[in-house]
C-alpha cells in the first residue's frame, strides 16, 4: 500500500463555506498533484508541485488554491465552496525523475449543498 | 485536441477473450508512459509501465511506438476481475506533469 493519505474521505458542506482538503505522504516524494474527477469521467490535473514552495496550476482551471510548505504536505483550499465544486479530489505523489509511477491517495468525495 | 487520447469505451467482452486498448499522445517530449487501472469509485493504481522494447506481465502486454506516438495494452484470457477502467498516462521529464487519458472502461462478462 502507498503511504499517501487524504482527509476527509467524505465531506458534505454548505455553500459559501471555506474548506481545506488534506493530503500527506511519507515517501519523501518531491512531486505532488491534485486531480479532480467527476463520476465516470476523466481525471483533470488542477494543481501540482515540484517541491517545497513550488506550486503550479494544472490544465483545468480551478478556483482552489494549494500550498507546499513541507515536503510531505500538500493541502488544497476552497475559499467559498459552491455546488459546482462537488466532485472527487485525488491527491498523488511521485519521485522527481518522472520515470516512475505516481501513488494516489484514496480521494476526498466532496458534496456542496 | 487532448494531449492523451484513448479508445472510447466501453468494451464488453466474454471471459477468456483477448482485448486491446489503444492510446495516442500528442506531446513528442513525453518520455515515460504507464497504464493505470481504476476500479469504480476507487483511486487509480499502476498496472504497468511501458517501455520502448515492449513489456509483458503475465496476461498483460504493453507496447510503445515512439514514431507513431502510440501506446497499447493487450489483455489475454480476460477474467471477470479485469473489469475496470484502464487509464493511459504520459509524462515528460522536463515538465513533470502526469497527463491521463480519459480512460477506457472494460466489462468482462461470464
List the single best residue of B43, B52, B106 to mutate versus A (max A Cβ within 10 A): B43
> CA–CA separation, B53 vs A81, rounded Å?
47
Alpha-carbon gap: B97 to the closest alpha carbon of chain A (Å): 8
**For the segment A42-51, what is each residue's pLDDT rounded down to a tens digit?**
899 999 999 9
Q: Does B107 touch chain A (CB under 8 A)?
A: no
Distance from CA of A47 to the nearest CA of B (A): 10
**Under 8 Å between Cβ of A29 and A54:** no
C-alpha–C-alpha distance, residues A104 and B5, integer Å: 21
Among chain A residues, the shortest Cα distance to B84 is held by: A40
Chain B residue closest in CA terms to A51: B96
Confidence at A106, pLDDT banded by 50, 70, 90: very high
Q: What is the CA radius of gyration of chain A?
A: 13
**Residue A100, pLDDT score:** 73
Interface probe, candidates A98, A108, A109, chain B, greatest B C-beta count within 10 A: A98
Q: Please list the pLDDT of chain B residue by residue as tens digits (110 residues).
A: 788 999 888 999 999 999 999 999 998 888 889 999 999 989 999 999 998 888 999 999 999 999 999 999 999 999 999 999 999 999 876 666 788 999 999 999 99
Residue A33 has pLDDT above 90, yes or no: yes
C-alpha A99/C-alpha A94 separation (Å) is 9
- The rounded distance, in Å, linking the Cα atoms of A72 and A27 is 8
- The confidence score (pLDDT) of residue A90 equals 97
Q: Tell me, what's the pLDDT at A39?
A: 87
In this structure, what C-alpha cell is assigned to residue B52?
520502448
A48:B91 CB<8 A:
no
Q: How large is the average pLDDT for residues A55-70? A: 91
CB of A34 within 8 Å of any CB in chain B?
no
Interface of B with A in 48-87 (CB under 8 A): 49, 87
Record the cell numbers describing residue A64, joined without a space: 482552489
Asked whether the bond before A14 is cis by omega within 30 degrees of 0, the reply is no
Predicted confidence (pLDDT) at residue A98 exceeds the cutoff of 90: no
CA gap A48, B52 in Å, rounded: 27
CA distances from B92 to A16, B32, B104, B106 (A): 38, 7, 22, 27
pLDDT band at A23 (very low <50, low <70, confident <90, very high): very high
Q: Which residue is associated with the grid cell 476500479?
A: B39
A22-26, A60-64, B86-90: the lowest-pLDDT one: A60-64
Q: Which residue of B has its CA nearest to A45?
A: B99
Q: Please indicate whether, in this complex, the C-beta atoms of A99 and B31 are within 8 angstroms of each other.
A: yes
- A2 has a pLDDT exceeding 70: no
Share of chain A above pLDDT 90, in %: 81
Q: What residues contact residue A110 under an 8 Å CB cut-off, 6+ apart?
A: A11, A13, A19, A21, A81, A85, A86, A87, A88, A89
**Which of A48, A101, A104 faces B34 most closely, judged by CB atoms?**
A101
With contact defined as beta carbons under 8 Å apart, do A45 and B99 qualify? yes
Residue A1 has pLDDT above 70, yes or no: no
Amino acid at each position: 500500500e502507498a503511504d499517501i493519505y487524504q482527509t476527509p474521505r467524505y465531506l458534505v458542506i454548505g455553500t459559501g463555506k471555506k474548506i481545506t482538503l488534506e493530503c500527506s505522504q511519507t515517501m519523501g516524494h518531491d512531486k505532488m498533484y491534485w486531480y479532480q474527477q467527476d463520476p465516470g469521467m476523466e481525471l483533470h490535473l488542477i494543481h501540482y508541485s515540484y517541491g517545497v514552495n513550488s506550486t503550479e496550476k494544472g490544465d483545468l482551471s480551478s478556483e482552489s488554491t494549494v500550498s507546499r510548505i513541507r515536503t510531505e504536505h500538500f493541502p488544497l483550499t476552497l475559499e467559498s465552496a459552491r455546488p459546482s465544486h462537488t466532485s472527487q479530489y485525488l491527491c498523488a505523489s511521485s519521485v522527481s525523475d518522472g520515470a516512475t509511477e505516481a501513488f494516489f491517495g484514496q480521494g476526498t468525495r466532496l458534496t456542496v449543498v | 485536441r487532448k494531449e492523451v487520447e484513448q479508445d472510447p469505451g466501453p468494451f464488453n467482452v466474454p471471459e477468456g477473450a483477448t482485448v486491446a486498448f489503444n492510446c495516442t499522445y500528442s506531446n513528442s517530449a513525453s518520455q515515460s508512459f504507464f497504464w493505470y487501472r481504476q476500479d469504480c469509485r476507487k483511486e487509480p493504481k499502476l498496472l504497468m509501465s511501458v517501455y520502448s522494447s515492449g513489456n509483458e506481465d503475465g496476461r498483460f502486454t504493453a507496447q510503445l511506438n515512439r514514431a507513431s506516438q502510440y501506446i497499447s495494452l493487450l489483455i489475454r484470457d480476460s477474467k471477470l476481475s479485469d473489469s475496470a477502467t484502464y487509464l493511459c498516462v504520459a509524462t515528460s521529464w522536463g515538465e513533470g506533469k502526469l497527463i491521463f487519458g480519459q480512460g477506457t472502461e472494460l466489462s468482462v462478462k461470464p
